[in-house]
Amino acid sequence: EAEVAQSPRYKITEKSQAVAFWCDPISGHATLYWYRQILGQGPELLVQFQDESVVDDSQLPKDRFSAERLKGVDSTLKIQPAELGDSAMYLCASSLAVSNTEAFFGQGTRLTVV
Amino acid sequence: GDSVTQMEGPVTLSEEAFLTINCTYTATGYPSLFWYVQYPGEGLQLLLKATKADDKGSNKGFEATYRKETTSFHLEKGSVQVSDSAVYFCVQAGNMLTFGGGTRLMVKP
């Protein structure tokens, strides 16, 4: 069964360091999402791609976060510099279309900033 | 704007009890509706879905019916198991995914 792949599963980094997460969506899925989920809360959308174009990055803290999906397939989310408040689960999801379709989630990357 | 409201948890039940988790939505159009489940330390898994009014989604003993007249999509299960302990999210998919706040379910033996 096709899955959304994310790596790493766990990451511990010191504050002010750079950190990057990688996501490979299900083959053929044009829409890719990055979410941040703080413990005990629901997912918060950071950025949404349609192919290689950004559809929504209104909640992405652009002073320190960046995301790219250069060839419209896999994607990288970067944080530089990391802050203590960035500790969270980072979830990647993909879907066939932008609207009215379910999204399939990866296992997530648990980030701890110390 | 679009929103999803679901009952706050935690919901604590004994094994074999009946489960209801309420979910209501506001939307400008007719979105598809989903329930996702998240086990500790894991990503979200699609539990069930309904794409139009009066559709009933079902999976693993869970059911939810898309009620346009009450804008609701309540999750039910007739007999819960300890393994159902998780966080459940009600989600609508219009032009974007809109999540409810999540409901933690704890099932005791």
* Cα–Cα distance, B73 to B83 (Å, whole number): 23
Task: Calculate mean pLDDT across residues A54-74.
Answer: 94
Contact, B33 vs B91, CB < 8 A? yes
Burial class (CB in 10 A: 0-12, 13-18, 19+), A95: buried
| Neighboring chain A residues of B100 at a CB cutoff of 8 Å | 42
| Neighboring chain B residues of A48 at a CB cutoff of 8 Å | 96
| C-alpha radius of gyration, chain B, whole number | 13
The answer for B 25-84 residues in CB contact with A (under 8 A) is: 31-32, 34, 36, 41-46, 49, 51
- When CB atoms are compared, the residue of B34, B94, B100 closest to A99 is B94
- When CB atoms are compared, the residue of A45, A56, A102 closest to B46 is A102
Contact, A47 vs A30, CB < 8 A? no
- Do residue B99 and residue A42 have CB atoms under 8 angstroms apart? yes
* pLDDT digit string, tens, across residues B66-78: 999 999 999 999 9
Pairing of strands A109-113, A10-13: parallel
Higher per-residue pLDDT: A63 or A41: A63
pLDDT at site A2: 81
Task: Calculate mean pLDDT across residues A84-110.
Answer: 92
Contact, A31 vs A48, CB < 8 A? yes
Return the structure tokens found at A43: 């997912």
- Do residue A93 and residue B44 have CB atoms under 8 angstroms apart? yes
- Do residue A102 and residue B101 have CB atoms under 8 angstroms apart? no
Contact, A76 vs A21, CB < 8 A? yes
Cis before B109? omega within 30: no
- Residue A80 touches partner B, C-beta closer than 8 Å: no
For residue A56, give how far its alpha carbon lies from the nearest alpha carbon of chain B (Å).
9
pLDDT higher than 80, residue A100: no
Burial class (CB in 10 A: 0-12, 13-18, 19+), B63: middle
Q: How many CB atoms lie within 10 A of CB B28?
A: 9
* pLDDT digit string, tens, across residues B42-99: 889 999 999 999 999 999 999 999 999 999 999 999 999 999 999 999 999 987 889 9
- Do residue A42 and residue B44 have CB atoms under 8 angstroms apart? no
Rounded to the nearest integer, the mean pLDDT of chain A is: 94
* Cα–Cα distance, A25 to A9 (Å, whole number): 15
